[in-house]
């Protein structure tokens, strides 16, 4: 690659920063102008044909939108705003991106009042006596924090932050600008010299050693009852096709973690659905009987492993193949006999090539029919409650109607709480459908801004946020952004008048877990959205159809029963065999 200078003539530092974003392929910035970042927003005006600046009503939405942009595009999602507010209000979205490994770029400031920062000026985050410490505040939940105090440093730090956000492990990286850095100019003769952003972008994805891949391929080929466990790392690597190709080559059943839901279509004949603490019984039973477990892009956390229950997963009786981009994640929870460190898409392609060379296995033991048998036995996606005519509406009836109503190219975004568990367990994703949820930190208020970002990334696909009334209350200001920015999303609210997981966990001692009755559809209409309130099951299908066809953002407020609880979707581990396959 020939060396290119970033600039041919002197420009203001904010304009050079905007040019860096363009060269990195970033086409959206989410946030609220404030403090010294106002100068960078001003620079975006000159690039408005290349970068869309999306104004949110609160910084927390910007961070979630940046997280989702990063997950869907593989480019850093940018959240920008004043330090005192971006780095505090946006905490949930930043932590989610940090734990989920989403590439995110946080552009903020120190709000300094140079040369008086050591005299405790208003809002300053320099860390001087009498001020707050912006760098220390954000350092605990970002991959790295750059503090730019010099003009050229401000530009290079932005480039380096993009590099770090995309490097393994990917995640959020912050750049905090000092006023002196943004107030100056940079040019072709600046010291240090400024070069094109392309040099800071990852050149290629990592592959695993060929010998290790071949050994793992032989193990997978010769397994009698193999399973694949797929996590969010498959999504981050955009490796859904490679995962499907490998599964279909060997007829290997595929289960996903909560974070990985949607990376393998749950209508596929080999799909087991979500496994673990809140997973499907069919998935957990078949995983417990596996002799070879291939884990792709998952850390195998406690909720995935049902508290590391040996009935579900046990390296003493199962052989583990683990594929992860980060070497520290391999053999983290369980020792993996075959640890393949590399990009999920690249390594899955390597495995496929090795298997093609070895030839297909002699027997596949009727694996597809076995998956179908277990789904039917345990009523994975079709239960009696799925057809319930009770009112208030049973959550499973709503979930079944959602499955019927949504087209295959829909992007579904989930929230936190019991509604997330119900959706994880019983909503069946289709081929071509994307499913995103806050499985890193699991904060409420995720679904609405996530749908906004998804619709901006894929404007021709329906984006549907599914949340509880608690999560909707946190993020309903996202509907104002939807109106302001003309982002046509659909929001479906599980409205049961409570924080369900909290309330049902309190038993006979309820406290701070119940809401007054609110008409969220009326609130939506007051904001300029289509608002539909559903109280009877027969109203669901027409309401969802109307919302999906609307020419503006829509809210479907569904009055749901509180009779179903998180315990109803908790795994029954007593059914697991915990016996080695012979």
Give the closest residue to 101 by CA, choosing from 299, 275, 255, 243: 299
Report pLDDT for 362. Answer: 56
CA 135 to chain centre: 25
**Contact yes or no for 405/412 (Cβ under 8 A):** no
The CA-atom distances, in angstroms, between 117 and each of 113, 137, 299, 520 are 5, 18, 43, 46
- Cα(291)–Cα(239) distance, integer angstroms: 24
User: Residues of CATH 3.40.50.970 domain(s) within the chain?
Assistant: 11-200, 384-568
DSSP β-bridge partners for residue 465: 413, 491
Dihedral, 260, 262, 263, 268 alpha carbons, nearest 10: 130
* Number of CB atoms found within 10 A of residue 242's CB: 22
- Cα(183)–Cα(203) distance, integer angstroms: 33
Global confidence as pTM: 0.96
DSSP β-bridge partners for residue 185: 12
**Contact yes or no for 553/530 (Cβ under 8 A):** yes
Report pLDDT for 6. Answer: 95
CATH 3.40.50.1220 fits 210-378, yes or no: yes
Give the closest residue to 166 by CA, choosing from 202, 127, 192: 202
Report pLDDT for 363. Answer: 63
**Contact yes or no for 6/16 (Cβ under 8 A):** yes
* Number of CB atoms found within 10 A of residue 566's CB: 18
Report pLDDT digits (tens) over 339-358.
999 999 999 999 999 999 98
- Cα(149)–Cα(11) distance, integer angstroms: 17
User: Residues of CATH 3.40.50.1220 domain(s) within the chain?
Assistant: 210-378
CATH topology of domain 384-568: Rossmann fold (3.40.50)
How is 357-409 classified by DSSP, letter by letter?
Answer: HH---S--TTHHHHHHHHHHHHTSS--GGGG---SSBPHHHHHHHHHHHS-TT
Mean pLDDT in order along the chain per 10 residues (582 residues): 88 98 98 96 97 97 98 97 95 96 97 89 93 95 97 98 96 97 96 95 91 96 96 96 97 97 97 96 96 97 94 97 96 96 97 89 79 94 93 97 97 96 96 94 96 98 98 97 98 96 94 96 98 98 98 98 93 68 44
Give the closest residue to 108 by CA, choosing from 144, 146, 148, 80: 80
> CA neighbours within 13 Å on the CB side: how many for 388?
18
DSSP 237: T
- Please enumerate in sequence order all residues whose Cβ is within 8 A of that of 514, keeping only pairs 6 or more positions apart, or say none: 497, 498, 499, 503
Report pLDDT for 365. Answer: 72
Give the closest residue to 105 by CA, choosing from 131, 81, 136: 81
CATH 3.40.50.970 fits 11-200, yes or no: yes
Phi, psi of 407 (to 5 degrees): -70, 165
Report pLDDT digits (tens) over 475-506.
999 999 999 999 999 999 999 999 999 999 99
Phi, psi of 315 (to 5 degrees): -65, -15
- Please enumerate in sequence order all residues whose Cβ is within 8 A of that of 424, keeping only pairs 6 or more positions apart, or say none: 258, 261, 274, 278, 279, 414, 437, 569
- Cα(106)–Cα(83) distance, integer angstroms: 10
């Amino acid at each position: 690659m020939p060396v290119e200078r970033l600039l041919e003539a002197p420009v203001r530092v904010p304009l050079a920063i905007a040019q860096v974003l363009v060269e990195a392929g970033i086409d959206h910035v989410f946030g609220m102008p404030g403090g010294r970042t106002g100068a960078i927003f001003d620079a975006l005006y000159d690039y408005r044909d290349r970068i869309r600046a999306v104004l949110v009503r609160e910084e927390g939405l910007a961070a979630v939108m940046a997280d989702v942009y990063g997950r869907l595009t593989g480019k850093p999602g940018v959240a920008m705003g004043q330090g005192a507010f971006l780095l505090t209000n946006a905490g949930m979205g930043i932590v989610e991106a940090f734990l989920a490994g989403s590439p995110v770029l946080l552009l903020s400031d120190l709000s300094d009042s140079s040369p008086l920062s050591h005299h405790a000026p208003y809002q300053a985050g320099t860390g001087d006596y009498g001020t707050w410490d912006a760098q220390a505040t954000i350092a605990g939940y970002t991959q790295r924090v750059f503090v730019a105090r010099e003009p050229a440093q401000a530009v290079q730090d932005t480039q380096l932050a993009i590099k770090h956000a995309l490097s393994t492990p990917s995640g959020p990286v912050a750049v905090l600008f000092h006023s002196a850095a943004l107030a100056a100019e940079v040019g072709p003769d600046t010291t240090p010299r400024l070069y094109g952003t392309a040099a800071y972008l990852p050149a290629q994805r990592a592959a695993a050693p060929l010998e290790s891949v071949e050994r793992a391929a032989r193990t997978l080929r010769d397994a009698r009852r193999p399973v694949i466990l797929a996590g969010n790392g498959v999504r981050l690597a955009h490796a859904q096709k490679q995962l499907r190709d490998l599964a279909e080559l060997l007829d290997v059943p595929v289960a996903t973690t909560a974070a990985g839901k949607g990376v393998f279509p749950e209508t596929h004949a080999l799909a087991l659905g979500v496994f673990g603490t809140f997973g499907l019984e069919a998935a957990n039973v078949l995983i417990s009987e596996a002799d070879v477990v291939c884990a792709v892009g998952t850390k195998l956390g406690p909720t995935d492993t049902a508290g590391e229950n040996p009935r579900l997963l046990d390296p003493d009786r199962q052989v583990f193949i683990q594929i992860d981009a980060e070497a520290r994640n391999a053999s983290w929870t369980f020792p993996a006999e075959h640890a393949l460190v590399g990009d999920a898409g690249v390594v899955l392609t390597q495995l496929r090539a090795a298997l093609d060379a070895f030839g297909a296995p002699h027997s596949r033991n009727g694996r597809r029919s076995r998956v179908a048998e277990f789904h039917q036995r345990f009523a994975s996606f079709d239960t009696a409650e799925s057809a319930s005519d009770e009112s208030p509406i049973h959550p499973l009836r709503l979930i079944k109607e959602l499955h019927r109503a949504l087209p295959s190219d829909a992007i579904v975004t989930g929230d936190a709480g019991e509604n997330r568990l119900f959706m994880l367990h019983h909503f069946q994703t289709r081929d071509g459908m994307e499913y995103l949820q806050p499985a890193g930190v699991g904060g409420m208020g995720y679904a609405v801004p996530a749908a906004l970002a998804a619709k901006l990334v894929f404007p021709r696909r329906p984006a549907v946020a599914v949340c509880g009334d608690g999560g909707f209350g946190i993020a309903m200001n996202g509907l104002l952004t939807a109106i302001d920015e003309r982002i046509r999303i659909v929001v479906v609210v599980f409205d049961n008048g409570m924080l369900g997981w909290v309330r049902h966990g309190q038993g006979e001692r309820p406290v701070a877990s119940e809401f007054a009755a609110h008409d969220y559809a009326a609130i939506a209409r007051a904001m300029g959205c289509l608002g539909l309130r559903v109280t009877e099951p027969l109203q669901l299908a027409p309401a969802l159809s109307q919302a999906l066809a609307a020419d503006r953002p829509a809210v479907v407020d569904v009055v749901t029963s509180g009779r179903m609880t998180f315990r109803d979707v908790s795994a029954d581990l007593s059914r697991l065999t915990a016996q080695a396959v012979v």
